[in-house]
Amino acid sequence: MAVIEINDLSKSYRSGKAVDGVSLRVERGEIFGIAGPNGAGKTTVVECASGLRRRDGGTLRVLGLDPQSDRRELLQRIGVQLQEAALPDAIKVGEALRMYASFYDKPADWRELMDEWGLTDKRRAGFASLSGGWKQRLFIALALVGDPEVVFLDELTTGLDPSARRTTWGLVRTMRERGVTVVLVTHFMDEAEALCDRIAIIDRGRVVAEGSPDELIRRAKSDSLDNAFFALTGRETA
């Protein structure tokens, strides 16, 4: 059974259509990439799927639940790291983990998680004092503190230097090895290629291509597909 089933999802803001008929299936245990340029509608899809935003149309099932009508139950079973995530400057790493753990009926052991993700030495550090890489590491740990089956990661490595990005990629792979299904949103095509089992490329609110990284590259070359792929990768056709 698919862990996430999105059919014909649509969502408009006052500014216009952000998501225009998106359909996706994510299977259990995969890293599924949602890639595409800024403004394509990626974050809106994730917000609708994680129960944080109401859709205008379409059907959505995550772990068999409707993110709108079963929101409370769903939020107990998923983890979300949002693009615009922020914490109070003064909150300490340990406090943040303990607080997030308190939101869940059956949380993971936050001290263990802190240890696993290498955050124990930083437990008394205030959020504002952390570098970008450490902040992202904390956000990953926070997304996992509810012991979720599905994790949504939105632009996890935006703003990180290349070495912190590589480290973060390793952390995402570790997540998958532990059996968590990962939905990774990124506007970096190299990141989607490096990490994802399958990728949907979204442009102007629509899925313009979908497949494994290899399939997408092959198809793009043979069809000279005129889509966001080239703009994203800067790839030349052979």
Ligand X SMILES: Nc1ncnc2c1ncn2[C@@H]1O[C@H](COP(=O)(O)OP(=O)(O)O)[C@@H](O)[C@H]1O
Residues that bind ligand X (CB under 6 A): 13, 15, 18, 36, 38-44
- Shortest approach of ligand X to residue 11 CB, angstroms? 8
Interacting partner of 40 out of ligand X, Mg ion, none (Cβ under 5 to 8 A depending on kind): ligand X
Nearer of residues 155 and 193 to ligand X, judged by Cβ = 155
Nearer of residues 48 and 101 to ligand X, judged by Cβ = 48
Please state, in angstroms and rounded to a whole number, the distance separating the CA atoms of residues 222 and 171.
34
Nearer of residues 76 and 158 to ligand X, judged by Cβ = 158
| Residue 25, φ and ψ in degrees, nearest 5 | -130, 130
- Contact residues: Mg ion, CB under 5 A: 42-43, 83
| Residue 57, φ and ψ in degrees, nearest 5 | -155, 165
Extract the tokens encoding 23.
Answer: 């359909």
- Shortest approach of Mg ion to residue 84 CB, angstroms? 9
> Which amino acid makes up residue 174?
T
Nearer of residues 68 and 129 to ligand X, judged by Cβ = 68
- Shortest approach of ligand X to residue 127 CB, angstroms? 24
Alpha helix stretches (DSSP H) within the chain: 42-49, 71-77, 93-101, 110-116, 132-144, 162-177, 189-195, 213-223, 228-233
Q: Tell me how crowded residue 62 is: count the other CB atoms within 10 A of its CB.
A: 26
Interacting partner of 41 out of Mg ion, ligand X, none (Cβ under 5 to 8 A depending on kind): ligand X
- Shortest approach of ligand X to residue 105 CB, angstroms? 30
